[in-house]
Amino acid sequence: MTVVGAQFPVRVMVTDVWDQVSLTVAPTTTIADLKRAALTQALKRRSMPLQDHVVKFKGAQVLDESTTLAALGAVPNSPFIVLPARRQPVR
């Protein structure tokens, strides 16, 4: 039996700052909302171009950011990665 509307924690690694943030989300949270919350918490900025970052779950990029966490099969403490959409040059 599952509880509808229950919230659970997830871990999101934001590679821009190499920081992991913990978020409490609902199963109906979209990937776009998860990305926005993780970037805001990690980078301490309100406005940023969200299309410049992608989300990975279980090693694969989530292409449809309107997908909910429940549809992806996320469970408590599921790990996500938010990284730049373009590769960064190394010096």
Integer-rounded Cα radius of gyration of the chain: 13
**pLDDT the model gives residue 90:** 73
**pLDDT the model gives residue 4:** 55
**pLDDT the model gives residue 60:** 94
Contact 50, 14 (CB under 8 A): no
Q: Which CATH class is domain 8-84?
A: alpha beta
pLDDT along the chain (91 residues), means of 10: 72 93 95 94 82 93 95 94 83 71
pTM confidence score: 0.84
**pLDDT the model gives residue 7:** 93
Contacts of 67 (CB under 8 A, 6+ apart): 30, 31
Task: Enumerate the domain spans of the chain.
Answer: 8-84
Residue 77, Ramachandran bin (φ over 0: left; ψ between -120 and 50: alpha; else beta) = left
